[in-house]
Amino acid sequence: MKLRAIFHAVIAVALLGTGQAYAAGELNLYSSRHYDTDERLYSAFEKKTGIKINRIEDKADALIERIKAEGSSSPADILLTVDAGRLWRADQAGILQPVTSNYLNSRIPAWLRHPDGHWYGFSQRIRIIFYDKSKVNPLDVATYEALADPKLKGMVCTRSSGNIYMLSLMASLIEHKGEAAATSWAKGVYNNRARDPAGGDTDQLRGIASGECAVAVSNTYYFARALRKDVKGLDDKAMANIGWVFPNQSTTGAHANISGAGVVKTAPNKENAVKFLEYLASDEAQQYFSAGNDEYPAVMGVGLSESVAQLGIFRSDTVNLSVLGVNQPKAQKIYDSVGYK
């Protein structure tokens, strides 16, 4: 056995000396991120560490249920998904474990990570207000609260209330304003609808382009993507007529959400899992998030891709994103109470 250990050590040194990756084990990644550009993240990590990534991709809720069903025999090391509300669901299901990493804690701002290290945010998607420049004064949509103003009646388009992004936005309003004010807001926004809530974030932008909507709510990266590449229904003329506002800059700051990850409680490769999380917080990976998927980095000071930089900088809401999950049931209850579809 000693001879075998010495043999492997010698091979490791030899391979590192020639610049080749030494097989340092594997990492089983369960991911609900569906972006082709993430391939660069994974291949760069493998090249840097020699750790092979095995991936299973599905919707977040399906992955959570799969890990629960697999129990103590689950091969999952990492759950990677979007929206703090989904990470909260995973944590509530008891499938994540705390991670202690000075590097992660020094890199990721406190409000973008679980207080006890159960998950960390690695990219930001800011939920902001878009408007038709020919129909709307940006001063009239400077806050999320303004979306409920009767002057916008028949003008506002949103996703359905059950969408995780809408739930998280409502959850943040509950935290800042209380349930009564949040209920009044939901009722006002729904009364101002240009059509029944439907579609994805890109569809809200297309609604402005087609003239169906004058105001819409969407995550930043959908618009930044359309600045960078051709997106159906959003040609150059349409994009030039869409303005945007980072809301609540003089009060709470713009609502931030994340793409994030946590280490699964039964992770068979915990050490490799922590290495992966730390890699995601590196400057290299942070730039991939911005350049590859038009997201804002989570780490302060990392350069923005051209498309993201065009949107500008902003003041962010710094409430810890755990509250988005804690308030999620209340958010859905409020939407339902006012008939928000």
Mean pLDDT by 10 residues, the chain (341 residues): 36 35 78 85 96 96 97 97 94 97 98 97 97 98 98 98 96 98 98 97 98 98 95 96 98 96 98 98 94 93 94 96 96 98 93
- Residue 191 within a domain: yes
196 and 331 assigned to the same domain: yes
165 and 186 assigned to the same domain: yes
81 and 210 assigned to the same domain: no
Cα distance between residue 231 and residue 119, in whole Å: 32
Distances (CA, A) of 101 to 109, 123, 250, 270, 320: 13, 18, 34, 13, 19
pLDDT at position 22 is 39
> If you count them, how many residues does the chain have?
341
Cα distance between residue 168 and residue 159, in whole Å: 12
pLDDT at position 1 is 36
pLDDT at position 292 is 87
Number of helices (H) and strands (E) in the chain: give both, helices first: 15, 10
CATH number at residue 269: 3.40.190.10
241 and 132 assigned to the same domain: yes
The alpha carbons of the chain give a radius of gyration, in whole angstroms, of 22
- Residue 317 within a domain: no
329 and 189 assigned to the same domain: yes
Q: Please provide residue 302's backbone torsions phi and psi, each rounded to the nearest 5 degrees.
A: -75, 135
119 and 144 assigned to the same domain: no
Indicate the number of domains in the chain. Answer: 2
Helix, coil or strand: residue 203: helix
- Residue 247 within a domain: yes
- Residue 9 within a domain: no
- Containing structural domain, residue 212: 127-254+322-337
Q: Do the Cβ atoms of 228 and 307 come closer than 8 Å? A: yes
pLDDT at position 35 is 75
Q: Do the Cβ atoms of 67 and 76 come closer than 8 Å? A: yes
Which tokens is 143 given? Answer: 């806050």
Report the amino acid identity of residue 217: V
pLDDT at position 233 is 96
- Residue 17 within a domain: no
Cα distance between residue 296 and residue 303, in whole Å: 9
pLDDT at position 225 is 95
- Residue 16 within a domain: no
pLDDT at position 106 is 98
pLDDT at position 284 is 95
49 and 90 assigned to the same domain: yes
pLDDT at position 37 is 75
- Residue 64 within a domain: yes
pLDDT at position 340 is 98
**E-strand spans in 146-239?**
156-157, 215-219
